[in-house]
């Protein structure tokens, strides 16, 4: 950045209007304070464009004057992609671009702007009798642009795929201000590279997503939901395979949760009652959708077989929407509940589904050897191999000292993940947290290709510099 900050701020205010630019540090908190509280750099300014043309003008100015831009959605990311790294960047918030441009239920598509909150996208689809099936814990504040830029996953990946698979096309402003219009509802289009897939998951390093065409689906008539008691992750794997055979594509979710998560939530009164059937080392949250006119009792029949085969030891079926909500609250509060027990060290990893039991067993053994008394809290999406392999501090330990010893724990877990053919970032991304790790684990040719793409689309390194690639 060669221009004085005052000149940059004045130029950006001229584009969006003074009311839509924040330059006072005390007013920037909502845009700087990310969920994990790991990154604490200031920003030069926060700019909130209200039209795509304004995003283009901001990009043109930034590219011509060497001003770094950080695209931001709802500021819910967990790896620091959406907040400053150097302290000299301008945050470009897409919050004002929050319209629903079109919903076509017959085509199964919905075109929305990047600033639309995910929960509002759900409501917009539901108002038309449809469903947008991407569900994440932060859906009340996460915005579509950030959801796509981070290729968010969530609890329905098993049935519907992650954000990339739910996106048919995007509109994006490139680093030099040009507008890429890739909005499409075509299911078949073999006319060259799929440029949408470059921008989805790129964390704002290749372009600023301003709108997207998303897949929507017919709403199920009802859901069958159960919390089952399991002896081990091996039993969970056996049950998952059996459930998939019995229910096929109607198996929406299969989540694995350890007993310690229930214990923490009950002790801290995060649950008003125990949603499980009994005390068990592990639990599985299973959900099956029932379409209009479809048979009822599919899940119950499958669980009766599971009892007979001794794959589960107990189960409770949701008998009402309140029961279902209570069960899902247990799962969705797993990340939050760990903060009630002091410091935690977290890993968002994935392995082939068949290797999930080995990952958990080997990971716990390795880390307990490093830190006696540490409390393993592995949970997550058993159905797609994504485990949030977290560790809470030993009871009575000093949080600061515990966090300071994170590196050997990270190394142990990542070594096991890679040995089992997995990924060190399943759904949270790279951001500024895992850039060095990416260099260590990514195929060298793949890294060269990524750098070449970045250089071609953003030769001046204006868009989110230092994130993902360094």
**Fold for the domain defined by 100-218:** 3.30.465
Looking at 66-177, list the stretches that DSSP marks H as alpha helix, in order from N- to C-terminal side: 118-127, 144-149, 157-160, 163-166
pLDDT digits (tens, 9 = 90+) for 5-20: 999 999 999 999 999 9
| Domain 342-419 -> CATH class | alpha beta
Q: What are phi and psi of 215, to 5 degrees?
A: -80, 135
DSSP-based helix, strand, coil % in the chain, nearest 5: 40, 20, 40
pLDDT digits (tens, 9 = 90+) for 420-466: 999 999 999 999 999 999 999 999 999 999 999 999 999 999 999 99
Helices (H) and strands (E) in the chain, counts: 18, 19
- Rounded Cα distance between 316 and 328, Å, is 13
Strand partners, 167: 214
pLDDT digits (tens, 9 = 90+) for 256-293: 999 999 999 999 999 999 999 999 999 999 999 999 98
Domain ranges of the chain: 5-93, 100-218, 222-335, 342-419
Is residue 91 within a helix (H) or strand (E), and if so which, with residue range? strand 90-93
**Fold for the domain defined by 5-93:** 3.30.43
214 near 110, Cβ under 8 Å? yes
Pairing of strands 90-93, 69-72: parallel
226, two tokens: 């159960």
408 near 369, Cβ under 8 Å? no
Q: What angle, 0 to 180 degrees and rounded to 10, lies between the N-to-C axes of helices 5-16 and 52-65?
A: 160
pLDDT score at 2: 77
Is the fold of 5-93 the same as that of 100-218? Answer: no
% of the chain surpassing 70 pLDDT: 100
Mean model confidence pLDDT for the chain: 96
Q: What are phi and psi of 181, to 5 degrees?
A: -105, 90
Strand partners, 226: 286, 317
List of long-range contacts for 359-363, beta carbons under 8 Å, 24+ apart: 359/387, 359/389, 359/416, 359/417, 359/420, 359/422, 360/233, 360/387, 360/389, 361/233, 362/416, 363/389, 363/412, 363/413, 363/416
Inform me whether the pLDDT recorded for 316 exceeds 60: yes
Provide the residue count of the chain: 470
pLDDT score at 11: 98
- C-alpha distances (whole Å) from 199 to each of 207, 347, 450 are 7, 25, 12
- Rounded Cα distance between 305 and 378, Å, is 27
Q: What are phi and psi of 95, to 5 degrees?
A: -60, -30
**CATH number of the domain at 222-335, out of 3.40.50.720, 3.30.70.2190, 3.30.980.10, 3.50.50.60?**
3.30.70.2190
What lies within 8 Å, CB to CB, of 420 at 6+ separation is 351, 352, 355, 358, 359
- Rounded Cα distance between 91 and 88, Å, is 10
Strand order in the sheet with 208-215: 100-104, 109-113, 208-215, 167-173, 179-181
């Amino acid at each position: 950045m060669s221009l004085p900050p005052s000149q940059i701020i004045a130029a950006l205010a001229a584009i969006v209007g003074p009311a839509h630019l924040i330059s006072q540090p005390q007013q920037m908190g909502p845009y700087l304070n990310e969920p994990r509280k790991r990154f604490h750099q200031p920003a030069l300014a926060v700019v909130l464009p209200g039209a795509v043309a304004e995003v283009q003008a901001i990009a043109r100015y930034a590219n011509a004057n060497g001003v770094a831009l950080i695209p931001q959605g709802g500021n819910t990311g967990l790896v620091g992609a959406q907040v400053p790294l150097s302290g000299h960047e301008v945050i470009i918030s897409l919050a004002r671009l929050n319209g629903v441009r079109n919903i076509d239920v017959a085509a199964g598509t919905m075109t929305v702007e990047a600033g639309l909150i995910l929960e509002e996208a759900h409501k917009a689809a539901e108002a038309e009798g449809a469903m947008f099936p991407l569900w994440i814990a932060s859906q009340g504040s996460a915005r579509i642009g950030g959801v796509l830029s981070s290729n968010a996953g969530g609890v329905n990946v098993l049935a519907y795929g992650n954000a990339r698979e739910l996106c048919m096309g995007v509109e994006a402003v490139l680093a030099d201000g040009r507008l890429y219009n890739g909005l499409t509802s075509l299911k078949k289009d073999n006319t060259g590279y799929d440029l949408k897939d470059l921008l989805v998951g790129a964390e704002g390093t290749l372009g600023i997503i301003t709108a997207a065409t998303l897949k929507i689906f017919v709403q199920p008539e009802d859901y069958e939901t159960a919390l089952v008691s399991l002896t081990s992750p091996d039993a969970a794997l056996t049950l998952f395979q059996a459930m998939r055979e019995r229910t096929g594509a109607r198996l929406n979710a299969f989540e694995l949760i350890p007993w310690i998560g229930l214990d923490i939530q009950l002790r801290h009164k995060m649950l008003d009652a125990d949603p499980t059937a009994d005390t068990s080392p592990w639990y599985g949250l299973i959900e099956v959708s029932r379409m209009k006119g479809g048979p009822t009792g599919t899940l119950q029949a499958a669980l009766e077989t599971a009892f007979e085969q001794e794959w589960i030891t107990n189960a409770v079926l949701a008998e009402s929407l309140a029961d279902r909500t209570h069960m899902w609250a247990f799962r969705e509060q797993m990340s939050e509940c760990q903060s009630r027990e002091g410091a935690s060290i977290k890993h968002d990893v994935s392995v082939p589904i068949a290797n999930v039991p080995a990952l958990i067993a080997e990971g716990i053994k390795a880390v307990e050897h490093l830190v006696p008394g540490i409390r393993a809290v592995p949970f997550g999406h058993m159905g797609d191999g994504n485990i949030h392999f977290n560790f809470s501090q030993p009871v009575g330990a000093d949080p600061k000292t515990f966090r300071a010893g994170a590196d050997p724990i990270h190394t142990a877990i990542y070594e096991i993940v890679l040995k089992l053919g997995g990924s060190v970032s399943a759904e949270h991304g790279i951001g500024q947290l895992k850039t060095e790790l990416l260099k260590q684990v990514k195929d060298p040719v793949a890294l060269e290709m990524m750098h070449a793409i970045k250089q071609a689309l953003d030769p001046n390194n204006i868009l989110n510099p230092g994130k993902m690639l360094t």
